[in-house]
């Protein structure tokens, strides 16, 4: 028996044994074997899908005293050391990035997501994936768009894709994210809905909730463990399209 058959048989045997102890009817030994060894195109048994269809929606936590989700989001972000600048239109983004870099005294190179390349960036701005520059030890600040921002958790959510390489979230030293006001959603579940709207299952959906951190030395928080040391949000009032 290969490990796959063995594990599946063990699982079915275990479930059967418990059913039997509870006085329910059990499957025959033959039914424990696997009828679909390739694993492809599996469909859940009807009883299981039915259970899923009929169960109620899970509880979502209330979002505190905030009636305005933007306030809640900003409040949550502040708690996890995400800084925010508010803008009226996306035309203001490149200047706001420069201003942020100056304010923070950040040197190094700007790298922007291909999805944002239509904006008016300085000539020495890189575009695309950060790997090569990171290998050379270049200090990078990335600018990326996002799928949405979740007020519940204070997270920015990015979706990987042709124009949105997700290593821009992790390799650079600083990460600037552009959020449009109408991209703010209430709960995690709203992000799942947006994912389902995309054609295929994405390779990566990343919830980013503050600059990288660790408390692995003496339970004391330090920022900038492996990912970005700083995370900055440009919140644009005008809608995305």
Residues with Cβ < 8 Å from 119, sequence gap 6 or more?
Answer: 90, 91, 93, 94, 112
Q: How many residues does the chain have?
A: 241
Report the residue number, 53 or 124, with the smaller CB distance to other proteins: 53
Report the residue number, 8 or 106, with the smaller CB distance to other proteins: 8
Report the residue number, 70 or 237, with the smaller CB distance to other proteins: 70
Nearest alpha carbon to residue 126 among 113, 139, 107: 113
Tokens of 126: 């890189």
- In the block, residue with structure tokens 């005008």: 238
Long-range contacts of residues 103-106, Cβ cutoff 8 Å, at least 24 apart? 104/174, 104/230, 106/139, 106/141, 106/173, 106/174, 106/230
Binding segment for other proteins among 35-43, 99-107, 140-148, 177-185 (CB under 8 A)? 35-43
Sheet with 155-159: strands ordered across: 155-159, 148-150, 184-185
Task: Please pick, from the candidates 208, 233, 235, 236, the single residue that binds other proteins as defined by CB under 8 A.
Answer: 208
Q: How far is the CB of 88 from other proteins (least distance, A)?
A: 29
With CB under 8 A as the rule, give the number of residues binding other proteins. 85
Q: How far is the CB of 17 from other proteins (least distance, A)?
A: 5
Q: Segment 222-241, which members bind other proteins (CB under 8 A)? A: 222, 224-228
**Per-residue string for binding with other proteins, 114-153, x by CB under 8 A?**
x-------------xx-x--xx-----------------x
Task: Please pick, from the candidates 95, 214, 239, 240, the single residue that binds other proteins as defined by CB under 8 A.
Answer: 214
Q: Computed over its alpha carbons, how large is the radius of gyration of the chain?
A: 24
Q: Segment 46-105, which members bind other proteins (CB under 8 A)? A: 48, 51-52, 57-62, 64, 76, 79-80
Dihedral angle computed from the Cα positions of residues 236, 238, 239 and 241, in that order, rounded to the nearest 10 degrees: -110
Q: How far is the CB of 130 from other proteins (least distance, A)?
A: 9
Question: How many Å apart are CA 229 and CA 95, to the nearest integer?
Answer: 21
Binding of other proteins by 2 (CB under 8 A): yes
């Amino acid at each position: 028996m290969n490990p796959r058959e063995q594990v599946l048989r063990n699982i079915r045997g275990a479930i059967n044994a418990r059913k039997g102890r509870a006085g329910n009817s059990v499957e025959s030994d033959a039914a424990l074997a696997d009828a679909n060894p390739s694993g492809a195109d599996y469909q859940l048994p009807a009883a299981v899908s039915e259970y899923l269809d009929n169960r109620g929606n899970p509880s979502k936590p209330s979002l505190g005293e905030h009636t305005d989700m933007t306030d809640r989001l900003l409040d949550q972000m502040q708690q996890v050391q995400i800084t925010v600048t508010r803008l009226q239109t996306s035309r203001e983004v490149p200047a706001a990035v420069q201003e942020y870099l100056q304010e923070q005294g950040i040197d190094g190179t700007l790298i922007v997501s291909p999805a944002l390349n239509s904006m008016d960036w300085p000539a020495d701005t890189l575009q695309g994936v950060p790997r090569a520059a990171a290998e050379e030890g270049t200090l990078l600040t990335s600018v990326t768009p996002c799928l949405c921002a979740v007020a519940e958790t204070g997270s920015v959510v990015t979706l990987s894709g042709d124009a949105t390489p997700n290593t821009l979230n992790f390799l650079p030293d600083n990460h600037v994210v552009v959020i449009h006001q109408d991209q703010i959603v209430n709960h995690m579940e709203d992000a799942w809905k947006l994912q389902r709207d995309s054609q295929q299952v994405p390779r990566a959906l990343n919830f980013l909730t503050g600059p990288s951190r660790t408390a692995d030395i003496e339970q004391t928080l330090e920022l900038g463990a492996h990912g970005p040391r700083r995370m900055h949000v440009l919140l644009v009032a005008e809608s995305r399209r």
